[in-house]
Structure 1
Amino acid sequence: MDSSPPFNLRPAATLVIFRQSSAHNPPELLMVERSQAMRFAAGATVFPGGKVDPQDMELAQSLKEADPIDAAARIAAIRETLEETGLGLGFTRKLNMDEAAAARAILQSGGAMGEVLSRLDLALDLAALTPFARWLRQSVGGFDTRFYLANIGTGAVDLAVDATENSRLFWASAQESLNGAAQGRLKIILPTMLNLHRLAQFADFAQARANAEAHPVAPISALRAMREGEECLTIPEGLGYPITALPLSAALRG
């Protein structure tokens, strides 16, 4: 059966970033609150990410990766995270504070990731990102978004909101973000909601990565269906999600 999207969806990528403040506490995830001025998901709490640019694809092709489309998405996830948060992940060495700031300035002034690599003598470590999920927003102007996992371990990191596309950055466990949505403090759209439910199962990054590697990363498009007399949004079984149907009334919380 042909599983290709019926719309010409724009490629995008998102990075789910873990840190472990204590072995006794659940891992925290870096969350971004989108600006109210954004056309898509205004005011929503999401993971860092954005569109795959043509320059990301050009760089991926120059690296001669086996799957240049996946490589371009990984590059976009790294680039967008750096632009939005100031956090440099996915490089072969750790960036110091000045390097991260310089790289971010290059990107925010219109430079591409290739320029960052050459000017700061950096190389990408695309294998540091673990494929986690792929969600399709089936609409005109919709997105084909690949989600990846990454880990910064323990300790504090320097972050700064970009104050254009986003209005706030914060660390929270998956369950804390779900609680915030249930209490109306956070606005969370369906893919983020179900990803958080999946991520809330894990006590550390290693468990999350093992779960991701044990399940296929198949394209997910939510479909409407009736469940016990209530209209729900549903996703396929067998992709690692503990919840595969959510009442339509709960699909956007906060």
Structure 2
Amino acid sequence: MAEPAPARPAATVLLLRDGPAGPEVFMVVRHRQIEFAAGALVFPGGRVEPADAEIAAGLGTDDPFAALRVAAIREAFEESGLLLARTAGGVALTPEQGAAVAAAHRDALNAGSRGFAALLQAEGLVPDIGALVRFAHWVTPDDLPKRFDTHFFLAPAPGGHAAAHDGREAVDSVWITPEAALAAAEAGTRTVLFPTRLNLGRLAGAASLEAAMAAARAREVVRVQPVLETDASGARFLRIPVEAGYGGPLFPAGARAM
């Protein structure tokens, strides 16, 4: 058998805010012409870049997930315009400051003509890695040609800051409750990938942003790498560790959009 494709390190962030019906999460719709998750409703995220590790090394932290947190913060800014950063003195950005930073740097960052480190240096900012709480860890199955080793984080969206999709990789965006996103997936009006669906399900039912964050802090993160199985009737299932806390080990594979 051929060796599995390497699983590239990646980071995803669930940006949360309190809404009238409970916590809402910021999600984007991927452009249908991009290589991965085309047309799907997803959380902001992407690959960890070497520059993310360099930024993390300069923070003076022994956090083993620092580079992943920096990548999640960078991807959140690229895809939502929300920047989880503070001044060198530890002060959070005001909505006006956040909008000014986005206007000055976001397009250049997305175009690849400016790096995230250059943005931080120009504005005197430090990534707020402490705002991110580990939520989940998923690895693409061995048999798929494009694979990621993805760490999911929860983070409060900066209060009062405006979020919007980038218009490049993402063609639409929405603040939505996990319950509404799951209902749209069930109705077929939204495409939601298997890991996204299960992580929405884990988030559903939280009474508030802080309750969701507290639950994530208290939960052990278990690595999940789904395995495709077929039963005697020919039905296909994805098996994951029951210890991961998603309500069971077996889930219908469906179209297996992963």
What residue in structure 1 maps to residue 75 of structure 2? 80
TM-score of the superposed pair, with normalisation by structure 2: 0.86
Matched, 1:152 2:157: yes
Correspondences of 1:65-144 after superposition (within 5 Å): 65-68=61-64, 70-91=65-86, 92=90, 93-94=92-93, 95-110=97-112, 111-138=114-141, 139-144=144-149
CA deviations on 1:10-33 (whole Å, 9 max, x unpaired) are: 1111110111123xx211110110
Distance in 2 between residues matched to 1:131 and 1:16, nearest whole Å: 10
Give 4+ residue runs of structure 1 displaced > 6 Å after superposition.
Answer: none
How many residues were matched structurally?
245
Matched, 1:36 2:32: yes
Q: Give the letter aligned to residue 67 of structure 2.
A: A
What residue in structure 2 maps to residue 170 of structure 1? 174
Distance in 1 between residues matched to 2:153 and 2:24, nearest whole Å: 15
Offset at residue 100 of structure 1 (A): 2.6
In structure 2, runs of 5+ residues without a counterpart are: none
What residue in structure 1 maps to residue 9 of structure 2? 11
Offset at residue 227 of structure 1 (A): 6.8
- Report % sequence identity: 38
In structure 1, runs of 5+ residues without a counterpart are: none
TM-score of the superposed pair, with normalisation by structure 1: 0.88
What residue in structure 1 maps to residue 243 of structure 2? 238
Distance in 1 between residues matched to 2:213 and 2:4, nearest whole Å: 31
SS of corresponding position for 1:249: coil
Cα 1:215–1:63 change in 2 (3 A) is same
Aligned-residue RMSD, C-alpha: 2.3
Offset at residue 41 of structure 1 (A): 1.1
CA contact (8 A) 2:222 2:243 kept: no
Offset at residue 71 of structure 1 (A): 0.8
CA deviations on 1:59-88 (whole Å, 9 max, x unpaired) are: 1122232135x1111111111111111111
What residue in structure 1 maps to residue 203 of structure 2? 199
Distance in 2 between residues matched to 1:86 and 1:219, nearest whole Å: 29
Offset at residue 158 of structure 1 (A): 1.8
Cα 1:234–1:201 change in 2 (3 A) is farther
